[in-house]
Amino acid sequence: MLFIIGFVVVLLSVAGGYIMHGGVLGVLWQPSEFIIIFGAALGAFLISNSMHLVKETGKRLPRAIFGSATSEKLYLDLLGLLFDIFNKARREGMMSIEGDIEVPAESGLFTRYPALLKDKRIIEFLTDNLRIMTTSNMAPHEIEAMIDAEIETQMHELSEPSHAVHRVADALPGFGIVAAVLGIVITMQKLGGPPEALGQSVAAALVGTFVGIFAAYGFIGPMSNRLGAVAEEEIKMFECVKAAIVATSNGLPPQLAVEFARKTLYSGDRPSFSELDEHIRSR
């Protein structure tokens, strides 16, 4: 929602100020300039990125625009699932959760949290590391180092769409200059013609520079920052899982392991101790 509000504010501020100075909005409508700038930007985006990254960026843009799926409710579900898993492992032994982590979609523990099950990345991360806990005798510090390496890789991968869009924002002013130069070339061909035609041609060329800079700093740059924020929100879930697993491997009871996980969350999304306790009891 904030993205959409900000989009409207940027648009109205620039257009409103332009009109107040006596500008005519119709002059800014130059389809040929838009084709040059945004077509070239799209082409450069496709050239510089893999098909996987192009698809991943397309998947993440709606989350950046309409809001992240991560919420306090989802964090509560994650903490509740972690408590259920470790509580069962403490009562019945680590091998008792083997069936749950092998087929999460058929597990009585995982199916309590359908919203969480839809996030294949976090479920795979959780089950992979639980599988290592049940099948190896790794020391807690070794488990922590291994998970840290995976989280670093995940963060790099989740941040790539943000970096790809940021590169487009960096290129847009340059493509605006390209459009303007081409407009000047056309203007030079009209030398000797009526002054009105020359004026219109120069104005169209300058619109290219304006659109490139305006789109870069008003929309595409902020969008890349928002994609980065979405990646940081998502990686918090991985850090939450890591804290619980490391605490459990150090012998802490499920209640304390989950509390360690809760402490890793940002204050704006972190459920309170009483909320988490009530959520666990209700399950």
Question: Pick from 228, 217, 187: which is nearest to 204 by CA?
Answer: 187
- Residue 42: is its pLDDT beyond 90? yes
Q: Which residues of 130-155 are buried (b: 16+ CB within 10 A; e: fewer)?
A: bebbeeeeeeeeebbeebeeebeebb
What's the pLDDT at 71? Answer: 67
- Secondary structure tally for the chain: helices H, strands E: 12, 0
* Domain-embedded: residue 49: yes
Domain that holds residue 159: 30-167+213-282
Number of domains in the chain: 1
* Domain-embedded: residue 67: yes
Report the alpha-carbon distance of residue 162 to residue 165 in Å, rounded.
5
What's the pLDDT at 79? Answer: 92
How many other CB atoms are found less than 10 A from the CB of residue 268? 6
* Domain-embedded: residue 44: yes
Report the alpha-carbon distance of residue 15 to residue 23 in Å, rounded.
9
* Domain-embedded: residue 147: yes
Report the alpha-carbon distance of residue 192 to residue 240 in Å, rounded.
70
* Domain-embedded: residue 8: no
**Banded pLDDT at 69 (limits 50, 70, 90):** low
Kindly tell me the sign of the dihedral angle through the C-alpha atoms of 268, 127, 84, 249: negative
* Domain-embedded: residue 47: yes
Report the alpha-carbon distance of residue 85 to residue 205 in Å, rounded.
63
* Domain-embedded: residue 200: no
Report the alpha-carbon distance of residue 100 to residue 88 in Å, rounded.
11
pTM: 0.82
- Residue 19: is its pLDDT beyond 70? yes
Q: What is the DSSP letter of 193?
A: S
Which tens digit of pLDDT belongs to each residue from 145-167? 999 999 999 999 999 999 999 99
Tokens of 254: 């499920």
* Domain-embedded: residue 95: yes
Tokens of 277: 């306790």
What's the pLDDT at 36? Answer: 94
